[in-house]
Structure 1
Amino acid sequence: MTDSDPTSSDGDDGEAGDAFTLSTFHEICQREGRPVLTAAAIASGLEVSQEGASERLSALVDRGEVERLSVSTDPVVWYPSELEDLTDRERVVIFPKRREIVVDRPDQFTRAQLSQFAHLADTNGESGYRYVVRAEDVWQAPHDSFDDLQRTMRQALGQRSEALEEWVESQWDRARQFTLRTHPDGYTVLEARSAEVMGNVARQKLEEEHVHAPISDTEDWVREGSEAAIKRILYEAGYPVQDERDLEGGDELPMDLHVRLRDYQQTWVDRFAEAGEGVFVGPPGSGKTVAAMGAMAHVEGETLILVPSRDLARQWADTLLEHTTLEADQIGQYHGGVKEVRPVTVATYQIAGMDRHRSLFDDREWGLVVFDEVHHVPSDVYRRSTHLQSRHRLGLSASPIREDDRQVEIFTLVGPPIGTDWEALFEAGFVAEPELEIRYVPWGEDEQANEYGSAEGRERYQIAAMNRGKIAETRYLLSAHPAAKALVFVDYLEQGREFADALDAPFVSGETPHHRRRQLLEEFRRDERDLLVISRVGDEGIDLPTADLAIIASGLGGSRRQGTQRAGRTMRPAGGALVYVLATRGTREEDFARRQLQHLGRKGMTVTEETVERSTDSDSDSDSDSDSSDE
């Protein structure tokens, strides 16, 4: 547009000048799809003369809000002053319809605020984060009122989003439609906020096995023992239940910790204290067990701790003695090896769920029940233990995801997730981020390759998993890191024995006697051994010592949680840890490996890939020719 454009006048320019701000400049940038503009583009956007546009731009320059730059293709371009340091600044973009929030370079405060109402769905491992606001995130937000939650949202986003806030408020309201409470006569009542929601939701979903009869238009008499089922059914219908029953807290049990909680651990405990229930979610090495002891110290009531194996029961008992003021005669274990019920009892899920033992736990009033490795709870065997009622319930898990997508049951049966995003712990130095690398290994024997080609289904997967070329590749990796303490994970007993013989290392499996298993792990922990081959028993049934190097030789068809557990064996405050995942080239193991580690990539870890070209028939230590790319 030129000075002689008949659509412009001095008067019009003056009115436009009064309204021209940095915000208007940004709007025109968005329309043009460019971060820098010419005066002609501004003139067109404002429908003023180019001279008038230049005057307005000069006014912004005088206020320090934009800069001008002469370039060869145009006399002058203009850009916001903030663009000079834009790469170092936090930026938030909201997509209200998708309920997504994309944040570039968020600071620690922003991430902490976002974690209170949004789920970290993805990160590029550098500066970009994608959050999704799900219904369950709003239901579980640690706030007493919607106004408090709204304030947190605005602090995190740095702006208001009317559409997103409206949806969040509707979910906040849904989470407060139903309440379980104790009637003065001692039985449990399900109460709805209105007769409409009681009739249209609860009485449509619940059966006679759940409730006896209506007490009023908004109240139903609950059958004893069906509380957990009611909570699960209504949660799945989109209406989480507030549990305000007057549950017994058991006898008092004063205790203190010998260790100081880290700031994020104290935050976990504080959030648990507010809700009375929850699941501590954090990477291996983040101190979930110690945080659980902090929760025990808050409750100060008799506590039942449920674990998957007797080895973990022993380790819990030892850790309680080491880190708390509890005495040995206050801590009992209840499993196949010993049966003691004491003020703090550590029992296996299997024992607690057996009919002949359940009365021992039912008859005692627990102030707190702790579900270690809580991702097991939805399974048919383990969930029988969730009938145990207590005033407080706490779960622990590095990764509560399940391949059957039944993790929702974890949060209805135990409590909402409480955690800190993994990358924040990496950045703060509390947990070391291991280097993860997938190595695509060629077949070690033509015979195995031929067997794979003619096999089908599960047999095909097993042949690829047991590729003997992985033994030579493991030797190569161990020789490349001669000073490292290493754990080699396998999924099959036969393969474990082959690796143990080839590497001259002990094989720890479910067949290893408990006393021998403890001896080997303790020797590794004391640096008397630097290499162990571990079966699936190492995924969570035992507390493995920390390693510098983890080599996952098989098990890639397992769950994402298994990948998390195995990679997590290197996650401790000391840095420099390495995780190598061996996948047979040209087989489905390639896809399995990517799927397992993609979950860790979304948590902020960097995952790389290497294609091994070196022949694995020999024990050559020569370096590999490889293709590398970031995932």
Structure 2
Amino acid sequence: MDAFAEKPYKIVPKSQDEAFVVVPRFVPFNVGWLHEQNDAWNVFVVNKYVDWITELPDDIRDRVGIEQQYEEAQVHDDTVEFSSEDERDQAWDDLGGRDGGLYRRKGDTEIKIKNGKEFEIIAELIEQGNLPFTPQPVADEDLRDDRSGIQLRPYQERAWEKFRETGMVGIYWCPGAGKTFISLYIGDRINGKKLVVVPSRTLKEQWEDAIHGRKEKYPGAVDPGEWEIQTYQYLTHRNNLEDYQNDAVTLTIFDECHRLPANTFSKLATIDTTYRMGLSASPYREDGRTDYIFALTGYPIGLKWQELIELGAVQEPDVTVYLYSTQHRKRKDVANIVAERAGKILIFCDAIQKGKRLSQELDVPFVHGDTSDRMETFRENRVVIGSRVADEGVSLDELDTVVEYDFHGGSRRQEAQRVGRVMHSDGKGEHIVMMTDEEYEKHGQRLYSLEEQGFNIRFERRR
């Protein structure tokens, strides 16, 4: 019994540097990404990405066999450098030589990379267990004194120091923990032009509000004129990116950087920037390109959601799944949910036609792709319906309840993002997921993203 109390899980190999961790469901132990569950067991997946973001227990790391392929592998400009000639020659074969994007061997320890293949090589080295970045500490001439007088929390201070040491970081904190706040602080401390890349016009509005609001709150903060916010879609449309490939940006911030590895957006890596940051509460992809998230941002900085909750940085919401026998009963219950609650409510509805119909029935606004002044609509109405444009990054301090009426199948990332909207709130919020029995059977795995973070989910049958 003592042995079980000390290590209440079983490790089962999955693939190289990756394993399942099987835990009885009654044990409050969460690690990595929840792969599947039944009434008796939770099965988590652990790998190097998990270890980089939230450090694994030593015994799990040792059993999984997480290790670097090479003692040292650092990419700088168009060259990758290894610790020895033997490792250099091994890497030439491992990475596929000229067919894999390499150009020629150089000296005893270096390999030249073909033009335009740098990030592919970085991603491959990351896949093999190395973080192949060459630290680029912030230069003295690019650094200025803190003029805002802000007191950072200890975990935020660690992120700032890591950025100063390396010049490139990915910050993977839960929603509401202050990813935008630390980004604005770092932007204040860095001279020159700042570019923020966001996935939607909703977030563009929010960043603009945050930048101007910061100047009003902290008069010594940086001039908003130093900041520019553009969407991923704008920068990759036609020739817009060319303006940012030759006109140097001092700091580029990729918000919701899990979007970056998409084929269309990965070209944003060619932005001419001195320093870079990536921000995401869900740094994984379901298309197997998680390594590119790290390749395109930098040194990972993470903290478990429960640790941030314990620190008081964010609130843990009450999570309830409402179950229904039919879609008709589910739709009719939305009005009851709204009537039963005071405070501000955000209702998510993916399908545009469903959202418009619900908007008419409840007599509340529906914010979607064609809506202008989105953030103003969210702030000025007690109840708002939002399409996917509200999934990521929307921060409403007074939000009390999030209701998921319609959603994108079993997407765990969407679920993690949506619960995050209420974690931005000043108080303890409520997160409700509405599912028919059929939806729960087909798409219940979207809830894994909540369970793997240690949230307690209550189920309630609604009439």
TM over 0.5: yes
Larger radius of gyration between Structure 1 and Structure 2: 1
Q: Which runs of 5+ in 1 are unaligned?
A: 1-25, 34-89, 143-151, 183-187, 333-342, 444-466, 524-528, 615-631
The 1:249/1:470 distance shift into structure 2, 3 A limit, reads: farther
Match of 1:178 in 2: 73
Please list, as runs of the form range in 1=range in 2, the aligned pairs for 1:297-446 lying within 5 A after superposition: 297-323=188-214, 330-331=223-224, 343-443=226-326
- Alpha-carbon displacement from aligned partner over 1:585-617 (angstroms, at most 9, x marks no partner): 3x2x113452111211110111111222x3xxx
Match of 2:103 among 212, 216, 236: 212
Mapped to 2, the partners of 1:429 and 1:163 lie a distance apart of: 29
Mapped to 2, the partners of 1:583 and 1:95 lie a distance apart of: 32
Mapped to 1, the partners of 2:219 and 2:88 lie a distance apart of: 46
Please list, as runs of the form range in 1=range in 2, the aligned pairs for 1:187-266 lying within 5 A after superposition: 188-203=78-93, 204-207=95-98, 210-236=101-127, 238-240=128-130, 242-244=132-134, 252=142, 254=144, 256-257=147-148, 259-266=150-157
Q: CA deviation at 1:275?
A: 3.6
1:594 and 2:430 correspond: no
The 1:256/1:331 distance shift into structure 2, 3 A limit, reads: same
- Alpha-carbon displacement from aligned partner over 1:456-512 (angstroms, at most 9, x marks no partner): xxxxxxxxxxx332232112222222x232111111121112211211211111122
Match of 2:456 among 606, 612, 618: 606
Match of 1:549 in 2: 401
1:164 and 2:62 correspond: yes
- Give yes or no for contact 1:181–1:189 (8 Å, CA) kept in 2: yes
Mapped to 2, the partners of 1:271 and 1:402 lie a distance apart of: 25
Give 3-state SS (helix, strand or coil) of 2:205's partner: helix
Match of 1:534 among 368, 386, 392: 386
Mapped to 2, the partners of 1:96 and 1:600 lie a distance apart of: 22
Match of 1:519 in 2: 376
Work out the number of aligned pairs and report it: 450
Give 3-state SS (helix, strand or coil) of 2:447's partner: helix
Match of 1:278 in 2: 169
- Give yes or no for contact 2:33–2:44 (8 Å, CA) kept in 1: yes
Mapped to 2, the partners of 1:577 and 1:162 lie a distance apart of: 34
Mapped to 1, the partners of 2:338 and 2:136 lie a distance apart of: 57
Mapped to 2, the partners of 1:93 and 1:440 lie a distance apart of: 32
Identity of aligned residues (%): 26
1:499 and 2:351 correspond: no
Q: Specify the code of the residue in structure 1 equivalent to 2:62.
A: L
Q: Specify the code of the residue in structure 2 equivalent to 1:347.
A: Q
Q: CA deviation at 1:404?
A: 1.6
Match of 1:559 in 2: 411
Q: CA deviation at 1:167?
A: 4.9
| Greater relative contact order structure (CA < 8 Å, 6+ sep) | 2
Mapped to 2, the partners of 1:130 and 1:300 lie a distance apart of: 47
When the two structures are superposed, what TM-score results if normalisation uses the length of structure 1?
0.62
The 1:575/1:202 distance shift into structure 2, 3 A limit, reads: same
Q: CA deviation at 1:141?
A: 8.3
Kindly report the root-mean-square deviation, in angstroms, between the aligned alpha carbons of the 2 structures: 4.0
Q: CA deviation at 1:565?
A: 1.8
Mapped to 1, the partners of 2:34 and 2:414 lie a distance apart of: 19
Q: Specify the code of the residue in structure 2 equivalent to 1:582.
A: M
Give 3-state SS (helix, strand or coil) of 2:239's partner: helix
Mapped to 2, the partners of 1:178 and 1:596 lie a distance apart of: 37
Mapped to 2, the partners of 1:210 and 1:399 lie a distance apart of: 29
The 1:92/1:364 distance shift into structure 2, 3 A limit, reads: farther
- Alpha-carbon displacement from aligned partner over 1:252-286 (angstroms, at most 9, x marks no partner): 36364454322222223233333432221122211
Q: Specify the code of the residue in structure 2 equivalent to 1:262.
A: R
Give 3-state SS (helix, strand or coil) of 1:243's partner: coil
Q: Specify the code of the residue in structure 2 equivalent to 1:201.
A: A
The 1:129/1:267 distance shift into structure 2, 3 A limit, reads: farther
- Give yes or no for contact 2:252–2:276 (8 Å, CA) kept in 1: yes
- Give yes or no for contact 2:412–2:449 (8 Å, CA) kept in 1: yes
- Give yes or no for contact 2:394–2:421 (8 Å, CA) kept in 1: no
- Alpha-carbon displacement from aligned partner over 1:535-580 (angstroms, at most 9, x marks no partner): 1221127555642112111115152111122222211354442222
